[in-house]
Chain A
Amino acid sequence: MPVLVLEDIDKTFGGLKAVSNFGMTLEKGEIVGLIGPNGAGKTTVFNMITGIYKPTAGKITFLDQDITGLSPYLVCQRGIARTFQNIRLFKGNTVLDNVRAVYHPRSGYGLFDAVFRTPRFLKKERQITEEAMELLEALGLKERAYDLAANLPYGAQRRLEIARALAGKPRLLLLDEPAAGMNPAEVVRMVDLIKFVKEKFDLTVLLIEHQMGMVMRLCERLVVMDFGQIIATGLPAEVRCNPVVLEAYLGKGATVA
């Protein structure tokens, strides 16, 4: 059973066709890269999967259930988590609270328990805190649990976004340029980290990335977009030599040296 199926997705903003006739299937346990020049519509695809945008046409199926047009919080509760291209942490909150916030829909206690601090509240809170701490430890953030998210260095903020996404116990993880702005050494560490969380949390991963080094090292399969459409799919090595892809990135007449 495929994890995610997108069928004939269109998205128009006024007269602009941001995405048209987009289709793809993700199998369980895959790491697939979504690449393409700036403005190709990659993030728009993410926004449609996570419910921020409703597709103008088409159908999105997640684990055999239609999730087209579902509100973002419901999509998340079904098991899709994401990170953002321009990091969107809860900056004024602590690192720990960034992760713990995600437990809200399944905290296991109600408003009454919270306000009167019943035994159930204390028990569940301890559980949530322990789990969140484990996550932070797995991503090397435990020492900074009580710092404000805004005060973390850039790389750690990227890791925290992943930790926060994982707190929702997702089946599918969408990463929007996780290595943006990182130096080569940091990119290598990010690749290892993504492989590690994918195995540890039994995930399927779809990522948008511009750093070809990262894409080649990480992805089993690539989908290339340009002007809102898929222009190529295949193994990283194939896509790299595909003339259509080279043209999209570098202009007509480009070849691999």
Chain B
Amino acid sequence: MGKADSSKKTILLLAAAVIIYALIRTLEAAEFINPYWQRVIDQALITTMGALGLSIIYGFTGQFSLGHAAFFGLGAYASGVFDKTVGHGALPMFLLSLLIGAAVAGLMALIIGLPILRLRSDYLGIATLGFGIIVKVGMDNSSKFLPILGGATGMSGTPQVANFDWVFWFTLLVIVLVRNFVFSTYGRACTSVREDEIAADVMGINTTRIKVIAFVLGCALAGLAGGMYAHRYPFLHPSSFDFLKSFDFLLVVVLGGLGSMTGTVVTAIAWVFVLEGLRMVLGEAFIDFRGVIYALILIVAIILRPQGIFGGKELGFLVPKPMGSQAGGKGGVNAGTGA
């Protein structure tokens, strides 16, 4: 019974994805979505991938990270440089470069995480904040040791081989894999660390190891998203990966509700559209007021709904299966909203 249930949920998820995909494709063919908005859609999906990484780190494991954009940027540059110099946009090279982006970000996370994650979550916040600044300064000055990186003037020339199809199906893949991780013994170990680290430790969970796994995995996802970004947007610039960008990811995860993948996905997509929407509403002269408005959105949202929009709940089809002999139609492990 369990297995049938499981595949039913996955089929539902796939069906929903295919419908959304077809819809966007149709709108695009009907020229209802112009290339500009197509870019916004892709940006939303790429942000979703990166935000899911932070969702694992902060939402599910409770480790406060302030440098997510730095890992995103590392992935973008690593993947971009590889494909620019070695790959030249051939399909296997494109995929390999995505993997390299993820690996570089993940490896960096391992190096930072191993010493820091023995400590309380606050220290990770401080360390990642510092790391973010180091990466930004490094990118600004990168041309001094590697001219191809372009330094403060930015880097262009990455083969632009990622289109909507790639971005969309990769995002879906990431959603499914993150879901699988969360609804496994690893995910449960993560949430128990978040809920009570000492109790988790006493119950036999190697909390440092779990925190490192979550951090590395989450940062690798940021790196993957960065790699995709480099292949979709021709111009990489250090300012795209600074502290404010990290704050964007954090905002998405908190606003969506800690411990909710649904919340992260929905908020990430909505967020990118809100930012673009504001650009249009405000006009070029007032574009800087976006900062004020989105701070206001955050404040109001947190006052009205401190647990976030989805508050730890998942839509039913994001829960693999109720797992358990008598779970029946209860929706799933921490599902409350149901499908």
A residues with CB within 8 A of B = 50-52, 71-73, 75-77, 81-82, 84, 88-94, 96-98, 100-105, 107, 109, 111, 114-117, 121-122, 125-126, 128-130, 133, 142, 145-146, 148, 164-165, 167-168
Contact = CB atoms under 8 A, between A and B. Distances in A.
Interface in B283-339: 312, 320, 322-327, 330, 333-334
Contact of B184 (A96, A114, A148, A168): A114
Given A104-B204, A115-B177, A146-B330, A90 B186 contact: no
B207 interface: yes
Contact of A50 (B186, B202, B205): B202
B251 interface: no
A89 B191 CA distance: 12
Counting chain B residues whose Cβ lies within 8 A of the other chain, the interface size class is 35 or more
Contacts of A115: 177, 180-181, 184
B202 A104 contact: no
Contacts of A145: 324, 326-327
Most chain A Cβ neighbours within 10 Å, of B187, B192, B213, B259: B192
Given A90-B195, A129-B323, A102 B186 contact: no
Given A126-B2, A130-B324, 4 more contacts: A81-B203, A90-B191, A114-B185, A125-B185
B320 A117 contact: yes
Contacts of B325: 129-130, 133
A125 B323 CA distance: 8
Contact of A168 (B186, B192, B203, B326): B203
B200 A90 contact: yes
Contact of A101 (B180, B203, B312): B203
B3 A128 contact: no
Contacts of B200: 90, 101
Interface of B, helix, strand, loop or mixed by DSSP:
helix
A100 B327 contact: no
B69 to A, nearest CB: 25
Given A73-B204, A164-B203, A93 B188 contact: yes
A188 B126 CA distance: 50
A101 B205 contact: yes
A98 B189 CA distance: 9
B20 interface: no
B201 interface: yes
20 contacts: A52-B198, A71-B206, A75-B202, A76-B202, A77-B204, A90-B192, A91-B195, A92-B194, A97-B333, A98-B192, A100-B185, A101-B185, A111-B181, A111-B186, A114-B180, A114-B186, A117-B180, A122-B2, A122-B6, A148-B334
B199 interface: yes
A24 B98 CA distance: 59
Given A73-B206, A146-B330, A101 B188 contact: yes
A53 B330 CA distance: 41
A97 B334 contact: yes
Nearest to A128: B185
Given A88-B198, A93-B334, A146-B330, A125 B192 contact: no
Interface string B255-292: 00001000000000000000000000000000000000
A94 B196 contact: no
B186 A104 contact: yes
Interface in B227-264: 259
Given A94-B334, A100-B188, A73 B207 contact: yes
Contacts of B320: 117
A97 B187 CA distance: 10
Given A93-B192, A122-B2, A52 B202 contact: yes
Contact of B191 (A84, A101, A105): A101
Contacts of B177: 115-116
Nearest to A82: B202
Contacts of A129: 323-325
Interface in B1-37: 2-3, 6
Contacts of A73: 201-207
Contacts of B322: 146
Nearest to B204: A76
A104 B194 contact: no
B94 to A, nearest CB: 22
Contacts of A97: 188, 191-192, 333-334
Most A-side CB within 10 Å, residue of B195, B203, B323, B330: B203
Contacts of A111: 181, 186, 213
A145 B206 CA distance: 25
Contacts of A167: 203
A161 to B, nearest CB: 9
Nearest to A76: B204
A96 B335 CA distance: 13
Nearest to B203: A102
Contacts of A148: 334
Contact of A114 (B181, B202, B206): B181
Contacts of B188: 93, 97, 100-101, 104
Contacts of B324: 96, 129-130, 133, 145
Contact of A125 (B184, B196, B259): B184
B189 A101 contact: yes
A181 to B, nearest CB: 19
